[in-house]
Amino acid sequence: MAVTSARALKLLSIFGTGATLTAGELASRLETSVRTVRRDIDTLRELGYEIEAVRGAGGGYRLGRATRLPPVVFDEDQAVAAAVALQTVPTILSGIHENAARALATLRQAMPARSRAHAEAFTVSAARNYWEFPAEPINGEIIRVLGSAINRRHLIHLAEPPLTLEPHALVVWAARWYLVAFEPSADRWRAMRVDRLEPRMPTGRTFERREIPHGDPVAFVMSTHDRGDTPAEWPCRGSALIALPAPVVAQFAPGGSTVEYETDSSCRLTLGAWSWAGLAGLLLTFDADLTAIEPPELRQALRALHTRINKSLKPA
């Protein structure tokens, strides 16, 4: 009975996401048989939960729209996810540390004992990686304004630079917030650092959603070279013209670097490292021709690496 109850609880939490899933998909998630899934669905129905059977293409089972879930329904995996998320969110949002801590305490009190034990097992401390260059945590109010505009499909105005945008998505990458938006006046898509925007209150004017390039806001941000990043401070910093398209280099360039479009098949990458040899090694990882290398110290480091590699490859 305990196993059946735990499985039914997990099934209810899956339905709580609003998804419509086939019996086979549910069986795969629960690691059980289709027959057992159908029996658990009958159990939930007997308990008063409205589980709808959707017929036709894309059909399956889903939670009825009028069904109310209990105040907190967490399985062990969800408990861990909630605990980790609430402990790490202050690294990307400012002014939220106390609220996140209170939310975590409230959730722990409302969880069943078994879920609470899993949540309390995770105490997370965030530390900076020297190869990442996150922006300062974003003011939560700015995210609320932008998120609301995205959800309601409202145009936004920026104070600086003065622009009107159609906001479509927010993306967090390497602890930096980006807004994916369409700029009607220029007929182009933009990926913009949120920490450098001054959004005014939404206009209340609606727009029709468009298909985001690549069909994915994350892929768009990662492959956009002019997304507002600036070179980070390093003891050694240099640049080179790389014989690769800017979108390719933008996707794999280290944090704190910048990519400038030159031609459809080349771009200039500016980046830094602890040493000139380290910087030279980073450039070589792109496995492409390098020209217009600056400054002289970086050219010398590449020559030294060339000499060292040739020496190591000579027969003993």
* pLDDT tens-digit readout, 267-280: 999 999 889 999 99
pTM tops 0.75: no
Looking up tokens 């145009």 gives 155
Backbone angles phi, psi at 186, to 5 degrees: -105, 0
Q: What is the pLDDT of residue 88?
A: 74
Cα dist from 94 to 72, 169, 172, 194, whole Å: 27, 20, 14, 13
The CATH code belonging to domain 2-63 is 1.10.10.10
CATH architecture of 236-313: 2-Layer Sandwich (3.30)
Look at 12-26, 74-88, 177-191 and tell me which has the smallest mean pLDDT: 74-88
pLDDT per position as a tens digit, 193-247: 988 888 776 678 899 999 999 889 999 999 999 988 888 888 999 999 999 999 9
Is 23 in a helix, a strand, or coil? helix
139 CB contacts (<8 Å, ≥6 apart)?
A: 93, 94, 95
Give the per-residue pLDDT at 197: 86
Instruction: Please choose, from the candidates 284, 265, 230, 256, the residue with its C-alpha nearest in 3D space to the C-alpha of residue 293.
Output: 284
Count of beta carbons in the 10 Å neighbourhood of residue 63: 21
Percent of the chain with pLDDT over 70: 84
Cα(297)–Cα(102) distance, rounded to whole angstroms? 52
Strands 138-139, 93-94: pairing kind: parallel
